[in-house]
Amino acid sequence: MAQAMDIVLDLDATAQTPRSAAPHAARTHIADDRAMLKAAADLTRDLNQPIPAIYWTDLIASATIGYAALAAAMLAGSTALEIAAGIVAVLALYRAESFIHELTHVKHASLPGFRLGWNLLVGIPLLTPSFMYEGVHNLHHARTRYGTAEDPEYLPLALMKPWTLPVFLIVSLLAPIALLVRFAVLAPLSAVIPRLRAIVVGRYSGLAINPSFRRRPAEGEAKRWWRALETAASLWAITLLTATAIGIVPLTAFLVFLAVASGVAVINQVRTLVAHLWENEGEAMTVTAQYLDSVNVPPPSALPALWAPVGLRYHALHHLLPGLPYHALAEAHRRITAALDTESPYHKGNHAGLPGLVARLTASTMRR
């Protein structure tokens, strides 16, 4: 996500988060390692084709488990059962929602119907239709945009003040409410108020963390998809709120839905915190520098399969090979690791796990 469903709506809560004035150019001037880049490309040429059966099976299984657990949490007769079911719902729906990241990279012709299927199963029900990420996330991978002020998915978090990290996480709790407002209120109003429409399109139609990012209106087929998906999400949001207001949907069930959706947003925001090292102050970076500012959390660590699903545990590798399907990343990592000597920068992109990454980021902010 950024990424990934890498992220929540810009609520202006952190819009004025200051950057540190202290110089930090540890990765900005790193030259490209040609051997690493060539090995990554040459060793993975046969892995570029997505396998539809894997995508569909994974998505359907994740969504089924997630919604079943959500229903169990809503109907639970005890607090313990409600919490247990809620945790399962968060993890399964987070995995299902993470496929939005794949939608931005895999050619739709290679996965017939998958974009529509994902939106019907996950994007619309969870109010994160794919147009919120398509056309945004690709900018994060643009060679001259990564880590700059024009990157919608980058903030130099390691160079900011310590209080920015808890704010970064806390604001994600509000994501479900923000999305309800965006689709149930702002979308229909903006359809008849052109000035509001410009604001909604520019500021509230992208899953981004850079508060200065302004999205451009879509064109052509992308615009048609946007219109259709936004209409469907708006109707769903209005229906959900109306059904809750008149008692068709019990208030407790609605609150459980919000809690699970908040849990998905928070776990994604935690993953976002450690997807990169966030040590660039705005200059363009080489591909190798971008790789070293990104994070792999490969085996033997097992927990990343839960908090960085659908290939997101290989986020640094993904920045080397953004078109590689998620199910091929583990094999690609194995091949590249075996082929490159221990002095290769590739090995420096691998990290042990979440605690160490969070500690590193926190320590960096403490020095500001």
DSSP output for 127-168: T--GGGTTTTHHHHT-TTTTTSTT-TT---GGGS-TTHHHHH
Query: How many beta carbons lie within 10 A of that of residue 53, not counting itself?
Result: 8
| pLDDT tier at 12, thresholds 50, 70, 90 | very low
Q: Which amino acid is at 187?
A: A
**Which bin fits 278, alpha (ψ -120 to 50), beta or left (φ > 0)?**
left
> What DSSP character marks residue 235?
H
Q: pLDDT tens digit string along 103-162?
A: 999 999 999 999 999 999 999 999 999 999 999 999 999 888 999 999 999 999 999 999
| pLDDT tier at 2, thresholds 50, 70, 90 | very low
Mean pLDDT of the chain: 91
Q: Give the model's pLDDT for residue 368.
A: 67
Cα separation, 95 vs 314, in Å, equals 15
Q: Model-level pTM?
A: 0.91
Peptide bond into 300 cis (omega under 30): yes
Instruction: Please give the C-alpha separations between residue 354 and each of 1, 296, 304, 365, in angstroms, as whole numbers.
Output: 17, 11, 8, 17
For residue 207, give the 3-state DSSP assignment. Answer: coil
Cα separation, 294 vs 292, in Å, equals 5
**Rounded mean pLDDT, 319-348:** 96
Using alpha carbons, select from 124, 117, 126, 130 the residue that is nearest to residue 92: 126
Domain boundaries, the chain: 34-366
Q: Give the model's pLDDT for residue 30.
A: 87
| pLDDT beyond 50 at 25 | no
Calculate helix-pair angle for 52-75, 79-97, nearest 10 degrees. Answer: 160
Q: Which residues pair with 294 in a beta bridge?
A: 276
Chain centroid to CA 116: 19
Cα separation, 40 vs 332, in Å, equals 8
Q: pLDDT tens digit string along 292-316?
A: 999 999 999 899 999 999 999 999 9
Q: Give the model's pLDDT for residue 7.
A: 36
Residues listed for the chain: 368
Token duo for residue 218 = 């879509």
| pLDDT tier at 38, thresholds 50, 70, 90 | very high
